[in-house]
Structure 1
Amino acid sequence: MTAKMKRVSIVTLIAAAGTAAFILSAQAQESPLPDLGLPITDPDDIVAVCGGDPSAGEPHFEVSCAACHTLNSDELHGVGPNLYALYGRTAGSAPGYAYSDAMQTAGAEGLVWGRDTLRAFLLDPQSVVPGTSKSPMAGMDDEAYRTDLMTYVRLTTTPPPPAPEDVTIPDTLLAMAGDAPYGEYLSAECASCHVSGQASATGVPQIDNLTREAMILALLQYRIGARDNQTMATVARQLGDEEIAALAAYFSQQQN
């Protein structure tokens, strides 16, 4: 088994007392969970990825950030930009805010706000955005303080999941040439629920009749919470773009 194959969690079907249940078996991971750069909307997932206590982070925000920043979608910019939908946003790109040249340059050079970039910026702004006028705020050298603050901000500023029809496939993912043999390996877990050539007796849909684009879109919708099925959401959140492209490549070949 290759290292690439080992890193994907396995979904195992078990039966107990006549009731089918699904469990996600994964290698033990340190907390917080890795931030894969994927859209996350489930509150429990946000807390797990950020690794802090949002209830402790709220007063930290009031002390360190609220004088300049707002959090909600219906609030205006303050001295600093509004932080709604901050995670995954390119630096210097919130509409209507007059960013410094340093912040705009950082965004143009590819800086995107996520757990790790924000952690570094809060600790030492100059190391992340050279030339910024922002200086470290009180308390930011305390790892727990910073982590609790970031967890609260992410939980508060994350938009709800989009409707399924509003999800589009990123061009970068659409252009990926999926590794079909890797997809075949991953598909063994799909067979725990999905029956080849037909819907299952319990109504689980057929998936080996999906086009490549339809498979990618469905997995993206589950991954970001736009489609509501707990089992599929749990599975899809473990998949990076490489795994989704591989599965789509494999299943699209099954129609030939």
Structure 2
Amino acid sequence: MHKHSTVEVLGCSGSIGIPGQGTTSFLIDDDILIDAGTGLCELEFDRLEKIEHVILTHSHLDHICGLPFMVDTVGVGRNSPLKVYASKPTLDALKQHVFNHFIWPDFTRIPSADNPVMVYQEISPEQVLHFGKRQIQVVEVAHTVPAIGVFLFTPTGGWCFSGDTHQTDRLFDLINATKKVDYLFIEAAFPDKEKWLADLAKHLCPSLLFDELKKITVPGCEVWISHLKPKDRTLIEHELQQYPGAQPLRILSAGMTFTI
């Protein structure tokens, strides 16, 4: 019998301001972290210690700010380096602007360059990473900085997280091609009255999201919404309820767990 994987929502809010609802971070089983927003900071030490791999969708602060604290908290006691996977532009941003000795120590050189507590692993679009029977594939999406979406495939199912994105096509091509995505986590950051801001910031609002979801041609994919900005959360939720598709859109919340 195949062992299922779980995806735990540590954080999925578009910003801070709602207690218990941190920014983007998802934990796959005990050992793979997708993004490291403020939601990560809710995890206790012994769970932080079990994380071996961190995959970052892009370099924005609400997706990376927990990583410096995590590697500082767990780092020197680790048995093997924490592996941080991201595209080259995202890794370059981390090296230049975060782990640069001014904002935070460079943990790829602590305690020494030959024996670091953290290592970078560059990934390219559509590359497939293998973690036992789990496969993770990444795909480019449209955002104000280079950004990726993430697919998780297990022997029993599939999950997709769009990351931060505006209108995009390849993500949906892959959903349709694989035919085994049980859950799609996708954002709706702004209400429709701020579509101009969604276009500027390369995010989605409900009307844009509805058009994007028309691109899904395979049945059986539950759609869950993340990244609602707290200021307009109630309005965005109301607008999402107007979705004309066959199944309602569901709102993610920290603490939820999905079996894949």
User: What interval of TM-score do these two structures reach, taking the shorter chain for normalisation?
Assistant: under 0.3
Tell me the TM-score normalized by structure 2. 0.25
Instruction: Give the strand-richer structure, 1 or 2.
Output: 2
Tell me the TM-score normalized by structure 1. 0.25
Instruction: Give the helix-richer structure, 1 or 2.
Output: 1
Q: Determine which structure has more spread, i.e. the larger CA radius of gyration.
A: 1
